[in-house]
Chains A and B, each alone.
Chain A
Amino acid sequence: MNKTNGPRLRARRKARFTNDDLWGYVFIAAAMIIFCVFTLYPVINAIYTSFFNYKPFGSEFVGLKNYTDTLKYSKFNLFYKAAWNTLVYTVIVVPLSLLLSFTISVMILPFQKKVQSVFKAMYYLPGIASGVALSVVWLWLYDSSPDGLFNKFLGFFGVPTQNWLSSTKTSMLSLIIMALLSSHGTQIITYIAALLGIDNSYFEAAELDGATFFQKVRYIVWPLVKPTTLFLLVTGVIGSFQVFMNAYMMTGGGPDNSTTMIGLLIYNNAFEYAKYGLACAQAIILTIVIALMSVFQFKLMGVDVEY
Chain B
Amino acid sequence: MKKILAIVLSAILVLGMFSACGSSAPAETQAPAQTPAPAETKADAPAETAAPAEPDTIVIMAPPVTGSYLENLKKWAADFNAMYPNLTVEIIETSWDEHNGKLSTMAQAGEAPDIAEISSGALGTYVEMGVAIDIAKYMEEGRLNDYDANALAYMSLEGTAYGLPLYLTIQSIGANKTLMEELGIDVQKIQNEGWTYEEFLDVIKTGTTDSRYGFVFANSGVTASDMLYMFGAGVGLSNTFTPELKYAFTSENMLILLKAIEEMTGSGYMPNFGVEAGQRMVMCQTGNAMIFGKAMPLFEANFKKNNAALEANDGTAVEGSQKMDYAFLPVPTMAGCAESCYGTVDGLIAMRNKDTTDEHLKNVLLFMDYICSGDRIAACMNDLYLDPVCQSGRDALVLEEGRDENNLATAGRCIAMVQAPPAGVTAEMTATAKQLMDEQIVPKFQLLLAGETTAQDVYDHICEAAYAAFGQDNCAQGMLG
Residue from B6, B10, B279, B443 whose CB has the most chain A CB atoms within 10 Å: B443
In the complex, A75→B129 CA distance in Å?
Answer: 27
24 contacts between A and B (CB under 8 A): A26-B7, A26-B10, A30-B11, A34-B17, A56-B129, A56-B130, A57-B110, A76-B440, A144-B220, A145-B279, A163-B274, A165-B274, A166-B220, A166-B273, A254-B442, A254-B443, A255-B443, A255-B447, A255-B450, A271-B101, A272-B434, A272-B435, A273-B431, A274-B129
Residues of chain B within 8 A of A145, CB atoms compared: 271, 273, 275, 279
Residue from A30, A146, A253 whose CB has the most chain B CB atoms within 10 Å: A30
Is B7 a contact partner of A166 (Cβ separation < 8 A)?
no
Least Cβ distance of A30 to chain B in Å?
4
Q: Which residue of A lies closest to B435 (CB)?
A: A273
Residues of chain A within 8 A of B7, CB atoms compared: 26-27
Q: Does chain A have a CB within 8 A of B263? A: no
Q: Does chain A have a CB within 8 A of B463? A: no
Least Cβ distance of A292 to chain B in Å?
27
Is B108 a contact partner of A56 (Cβ separation < 8 A)?
yes
Least Cβ distance of A261 to chain B in Å?
14
Within 8 A of B (CB), among A250-297: 251-257, 268, 270-274, 276
Q: Does chain B have a CB within 8 A of A214? A: no
In the complex, A74→B468 CA distance in Å?
Answer: 10
Residue from A56, A144, A169, A257 whose CB has the most chain B CB atoms within 10 Å: A56
Residues of chain A within 8 A of B327, CB atoms compared: none
In the complex, A273→B122 CA distance in Å?
Answer: 9
Least Cβ distance of A103 to chain B in Å?
34
The interface residues of chain B, by DSSP majority, are classed as helix
Q: Does chain A have a CB within 8 A of B395? A: no
Q: Which residue of A lies closest to B288 (CB)?
A: A145
Q: What are the 10 closest A-B residue pairs judged by CB atoms, nearest first?
A: A166-B274, A144-B273, A255-B446, A30-B10, A56-B110, A256-B443, A271-B104, A55-B130, A252-B222, A144-B274
Is B468 a contact partner of A274 (Cβ separation < 8 A)?
no
Is B274 a contact partner of A256 (Cβ separation < 8 A)?
no
Least Cβ distance of B127 to chain A in Å?
10
Q: Does chain B have a CB within 8 A of A88? A: no
In the complex, A112→B210 CA distance in Å?
Answer: 55
Q: Does chain B have a CB within 8 A of A190? A: no
A144-B275, A268-B438, A272-B104 given; name 6 further pairs at CB < 8 Å: A34-B14, A76-B439, A144-B220, A254-B443, A257-B443, A271-B108
Residues of chain A within 8 A of B469, CB atoms compared: 76
Q: Does chain B have a CB within 8 A of A51? A: no
Q: Which residue of B lies closest to A255 (CB)?
A: B446
In the complex, A29→B165 CA distance in Å?
Answer: 52
Within 8 A of A (CB), among B410-467: 431, 434-435, 438-440, 442-444, 446-447, 449-450, 452, 464-465
Q: Does chain A have a CB within 8 A of B131? A: yes
Residues of chain B within 8 A of A169, CB atoms compared: 452
Least Cβ distance of A171 to chain B in Å?
9
The interface residues of chain A, by DSSP majority, are classed as loop
Q: Does chain B have a CB within 8 A of A182? A: no
Q: Mark A59-97, 1 if CB is under 8 A from B, else 0.
A: 000000000000000111010000000000000000000
Q: Which residue of B lies closest to A58 (CB)?
A: B130
Is A57 a contact partner of B439 (Cβ separation < 8 A)?
no
Q: Does chain B have a CB within 8 A of A213? A: no
Least Cβ distance of A222 to chain B in Å?
39
Q: Does chain A have a CB within 8 A of B125? A: yes
Is B446 a contact partner of A33 (Cβ separation < 8 A)?
no
Q: Does chain A have a CB within 8 A of B189? A: no
Q: Does chain B have a CB within 8 A of A23? A: yes
Within 8 A of B (CB), among A159-192: 161, 163, 165-169
Q: Does chain B have a CB within 8 A of A156? A: no
Q: Does chain A have a CB within 8 A of B128? A: yes
In the complex, A273→B108 CA distance in Å?
Answer: 11
Q: Mark B1-22, 1 if CB is under 8 A from A, else 0.
A: 0010011001101100110000
Residues of chain B within 8 A of A146, CB atoms compared: 273
In the complex, A30→B276 CA distance in Å?
Answer: 47
Is B273 a contact partner of A168 (Cβ separation < 8 A)?
no
Q: Does chain B have a CB within 8 A of A157? A: no
Q: Does chain A have a CB within 8 A of B221? A: yes
Within 8 A of B (CB), among A219-251: 251
Least Cβ distance of B449 to chain A in Å?
7
Contact residue among B10, B222, B447 (Cβ-Cβ distance under 8 Å from A256) = B447
B residues near A (Cβ < 8 Å) are 3, 6-7, 10-11, 13-14, 17-18, 100-101, 104-105, 107-110, 112, 125-126, 128-131, 220-222, 224, 271-276, 279, 352, 431, 434-435, 438-440, 442-444, 446-447, 449-450, 452, 464-465, 468-469
Is B110 a contact partner of A165 (Cβ separation < 8 A)?
no
Residues of chain A within 8 A of B440, CB atoms compared: 76
Is B14 a contact partner of A56 (Cβ separation < 8 A)?
no
Q: Does chain B have a CB within 8 A of A54? A: yes
In the complex, A29→B11 CA distance in Å?
Answer: 9
In the complex, A274→B435 CA distance in Å?
Answer: 11
Residues of chain B within 8 A of A56, CB atoms compared: 107-110, 112, 129-131, 352
In the complex, A117→B89 CA distance in Å?
Answer: 53
Residues of chain A within 8 A of B444, CB atoms compared: 256
Is A75 a contact partner of B446 (Cβ separation < 8 A)?
no
Residues of chain A within 8 A of B435, CB atoms compared: 272-273
In the complex, A154→B272 CA distance in Å?
Answer: 17
Is A57 a contact partner of B131 (Cβ separation < 8 A)?
yes
Is B109 a contact partner of A30 (Cβ separation < 8 A)?
no
Is B109 a contact partner of A168 (Cβ separation < 8 A)?
no
Is A76 a contact partner of B220 (Cβ separation < 8 A)?
no
Q: Does chain B have a CB within 8 A of A307? A: no
Within 8 A of B (CB), among A1-51: 23, 26-27, 29-30, 33-34, 37-38
Is A168 a contact partner of B450 (Cβ separation < 8 A)?
yes
Is B438 a contact partner of A272 (Cβ separation < 8 A)?
yes
Least Cβ distance of B3 to chain A in Å?
6
In the complex, A229→B6 CA distance in Å?
Answer: 34
Least Cβ distance of B60 to chain A in Å?
19
In the complex, A27→B352 CA distance in Å?
Answer: 43
Q: Which residue of A lies closest to B453 (CB)?
A: A256
In the complex, A11→B25 CA distance in Å?
Answer: 53
Is B274 a contact partner of A78 (Cβ separation < 8 A)?
no
Residues of chain A within 8 A of B450, CB atoms compared: 163, 166-168, 255
In the complex, A169→B17 CA distance in Å?
Answer: 44
Q: Which residue of A lies closest to B10 (CB)?
A: A30
Is B221 a contact partner of A165 (Cβ separation < 8 A)?
yes
In the complex, A169→B224 CA distance in Å?
Answer: 18
Q: Which residue of A lies closest to B431 (CB)?
A: A273
Given contacts A144-B220, A163-B273, contact A254 B108 (CB under 8 A): no
Residues of chain B within 8 A of A268, CB atoms compared: 438-439
Given contacts A27-B10, A145-B273, A165-B221, contact A271 B105 (CB under 8 A): yes
Residues of chain A within 8 A of B449, CB atoms compared: 166
Residues of chain A within 8 A of B447, CB atoms compared: 168, 255-256
Is A30 a contact partner of B129 (Cβ separation < 8 A)?
no
